[in-house]
């Protein structure tokens, strides 16, 4: 089965960019997307796949979503964060298998000054985790757990022993 799309799927306005991809994230491109001579601050948050959760070793992490819905929600969040001093904001989330140590989300934004940039970046991340329809499957040595893409959210245990090479088959 093929992935639902290749490359980047996005919704954008002149000042917002919401995107999903199965490919490794291009951090430099995300930063350059929000760069402006009017901005004195560019803040970038990069979320990476860690090797553990609540003391258990993670062997694989996989993200899935329904792209039309999650892009629409993500775009609404970015629009809601707009302030007169926010020049530009970009959020790109990776889907599929994201190996340990690789980037799963990049949030970049530019404002005239750093204080507001830090605040908007943090608020953006919290809203993305709370509202965007992206789910993750964390695989441990003793099985996997599907959970909403939220820190510490309770998940649904999955104990079927699936080889790593088949984890992403539904998305291919």
- Rounded to an integer, what distance in angstroms lies between the CA atom of residue 71 and that of residue 131? 11
Residues 132, 80: contact at Cβ < 8 Å? no
The CATH number that applies at residue 90 is 3.90.1170.40
Instruction: Please state the φ and ψ torsions of residue 35, each to the nearest 5 degrees.
Output: -65, 140
Number of domains present in the structure of the chain? 1
- Per-residue b or e along 142-170, where b marks 16 or more CB atoms closer than 10 Å to that residue's CB: eebbebebbeeeebeeeeeeeeeeebbee
Bridge partner residues of 45 (DSSP):
107
pTM for the model stands at 0.84
70 within a domain of the structure (yes/no): yes
C-alpha distances in Å from residue 164, one per residue of 56, 59, 87, 137: 18, 9, 42, 12
pLDDT at site 4 = 79
Give me the domain span that covers residue 56: 11-134
Q: pLDDT, tens digit, for every residue of 39-79? A: 999 999 999 999 998 888 998 899 999 999 999 999 999 99
pLDDT at site 145 = 85
153 within a domain of the structure (yes/no): no
With a cut of 70, which residues of the chain have pLDDT below it?
1-2, 149-172
């Amino acid at each position: 089965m093929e992935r639902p799309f290749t490359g980047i799927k996005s919704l954008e306005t002149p000042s917002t960019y919401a995107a999903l991809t199965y490919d490794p994230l291009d951090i430099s491109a995300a930063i350059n997307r929000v760069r402006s001579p009017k901005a004195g601050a560019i803040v970038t948050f990069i979320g990476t796949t860690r090797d553990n959760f609540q003391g258990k070793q993670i062997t694989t992490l996989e993200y899935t979503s329904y792209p039309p819905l999650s892009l629409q929600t993500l775009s609404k969040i970015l629009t809601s964060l707009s302030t007169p001093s926010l020049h530009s904001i970009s959020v790109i989330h990776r889907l599929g298998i994201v190996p340990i140590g690789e980037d799963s989300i990049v949030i970049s934004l530019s404002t005239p000054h750093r204080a507001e940039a830090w605040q908007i970046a943090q608020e953006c991340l919290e809203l993305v985790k709370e509202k965007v329809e992206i789910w993750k499957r964390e695989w441990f040595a003793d099985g996997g757990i599907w959970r909403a893409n939220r820190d510490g959210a309770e998940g649904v245990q999955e104990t079927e022993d699936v080889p790593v090479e088949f984890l992403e088959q539904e998305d291919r």
